[in-house]
Chain A
Amino acid sequence: LAKTTQPISMDSYEGQEVNITCSHNNIATNDYITWYQQFPSQGPRFIIQGYKTKVTNEVASLFIPADRKSSTLSLPRVSLSDTAVYYCLVAPGSGYSTLTFGKGTMLLVSP
């Protein structure tokens, strides 16, 4: 499974856009990139998934360059409730593959 590297922590303020970049140099051709959000004492929550270029949903955007060796999760206008740990995962797109969680990025949003 492709290993991912992301910043341990990030700080932001309410209303700002936050971009969290994840490196996955060894991504395979059939791998998808998925981001999860986790609050303390809760299970991870799916945010967004993509294969290439750009994906956008109601909560975030995911930017993936052509070489797919990295990806950036973009959270527009964050609020205090976006304070959480964000995990970037790379795995085959079947959904039945085991997921390997890295250390994640602890995002702290301040007033």
Chain B
Amino acid sequence: GAVVSQHPSWVICKSGTSVKIECRSLDFQATTMFWYRQFPKQSLMLMATSNEGSKATYEQGVEKDKFLINHASLTLSTLTVTSAHPEDSSFYICSARDPQGAYEQYFGPGTRLTVT
């Protein structure tokens, strides 16, 4: 099946700094990718839909100026957490659909962000 990777797998940063997380579709081109956030013992919450070559669509309550999304190519979407604070510590997961495949979305392995 299609493979989606994320980098880094985990990151620790200081409060006030920015962190970039990459999401790549390794063997297919994805015009649309999705970013989720998952807090401990909770379900995944959709943050935004990333569209190649256009602006991302953010879910209600997600600050677009804080969570910058760039989808500059058909295989790469990035999520930048700007001016991170401890409450941004979470598990960030991206997903993408393989246009050549069936209807399922493929998820990346996730990135654990810890803000100290």
Contacts and interface: CB of A to CB of B under 8 A. Distances in A.
- Check if A and B associate: yes
Contact of A43 (B45, B46, B103, B110): B110
Classify chain A's interface size.
20 to 34
Name A's interface SS. Answer: loop
Contacts of A95: 97, 101-105
Interface residues of B, number: 26
Interface string A54-97: 00000000000000000000000000000000010000011110
Nearest to B10: A41
Contact of A44 (B44, B102, B112): B44
Contact of A41 (B1, B36, B110): B110
Nearest to A102: B43
B95 interface: yes
23 contacts: A41-B91, A43-B4, A43-B95, A43-B109, A43-B110, A44-B93, A44-B107, A46-B106, A46-B107, A49-B102, A49-B103, A87-B44, A93-B103, A95-B103, A95-B104, A96-B32, A99-B34, A99-B95, A101-B43, A101-B44, A101-B46, A102-B43, A104-B43
Interface of A: 32, 34, 36, 41-46, 49, 87, 93-96, 98-104
